[in-house]
Chain A
Amino acid sequence: GAGVSQSPRYKVAKRGQDVALRCDPISGHVSLFWYQQALGQGPEFLTYFQNEAQLDKSGLPSDRFFAERPEGSVSTLKIQRTQQEDSAVYLCASSLLVLRQGMNTEAFFGQGTRLTVV
């Protein structure tokens, strides 16, 4: 596709529900990132994939958060037993190249999924 696509755009969940957020990166992009953006804040890093390998999940706030990218393309961020503090915009980004090669890679972001937990 032309850009990073995320679905759904909006999600309202009752506290305690499980949710799954989808990201379709730009075709051929090796690197994929998930970020969480609270209202009035900058995005905060959650996790990073290089193809299907999850190389960094240090930003996941709790074990209720789980991300996968089984075939190295589409990724899903799952949040179990949602809580009100999980309400935020979840942004997905992709980059063409592999990081840590000393190369400067530009990140392209999707429009995000706005999650509201009530």
Chain B
Amino acid sequence: KQEVTQIPAALSVPEGENLVLNCSFTDSAIYNLQWFRQDPGKGLTSLLLIQSSQREQTSGRLNASLDKSSGRSTLYIAASQPGDSATYLCAVRQEDSGYALNFGKGTSLLVTP
């Protein structure tokens, strides 16, 4: 069974810092990996989708990388802002059972002014 782990579980940084969130998965046979943001009491907002054949995706201040063979992905946030405060979730879709997204427990990020 696919296990998705996110480190750290929580992170607090001052505004302006660059930061890295980590995601690891045990089964490398994935279709894709998706990073989401979840604000308190809200649903999930898709940030970046990386296909299994890709190494990275970028959107604004966000950059996500994927090393499929080693089962790792990182989300890099440049020049963090208080509005970036949220929980960031990593999810993978398997090749052999492609319906479900398997989620990590998330990293709770707080960016202080």
Residues of A whose CB lies within 8 Å of any CB of B are 4, 6, 33, 35, 40-45, 48, 55-56, 59, 91, 93, 99-100, 102, 104, 106-112, 114
Contacts and interface: CB of A to CB of B under 8 A. Distances in A.
A59 B41 contact: no
26 contacts: A33-B99, A33-B100, A41-B105, A42-B4, A42-B89, A42-B103, A42-B104, A42-B105, A43-B89, A43-B101, A44-B103, A45-B99, A55-B99, A59-B100, A91-B43, A93-B101, A99-B98, A100-B99, A102-B31, A104-B51, A106-B34, A106-B49, A109-B46, A111-B42, A112-B42, A114-B41
In this complex, the interface size class of chain B, counting residues with CB under 8 Å from chain A, is: 20 to 34
A88 B34 CA distance: 22
State the 9 A-B residue pairs at the shortest beta-carbon distance, nearest first.
Answer: A42-B103, A45-B100, A109-B44, A111-B43, A48-B99, A104-B32, A104-B51, A109-B43, A56-B99
Contacts of A4: 43
B76 interface: no
Contacts, number: 64
A55 to B, nearest CB: 7
Q: Is the interface of B mostly helix, strand, loop or mixed?
A: strand
A59 B102 CA distance: 12
Given A91-B44, A111-B42, A104 B49 contact: yes
Of A35, A93, A104, most buried by chain B (CB within 10 Å of CB) is: A104
A14 to B, nearest CB: 23
Given A109-B36, A109-B43, A42 B99 contact: no
A45 B94 CA distance: 13
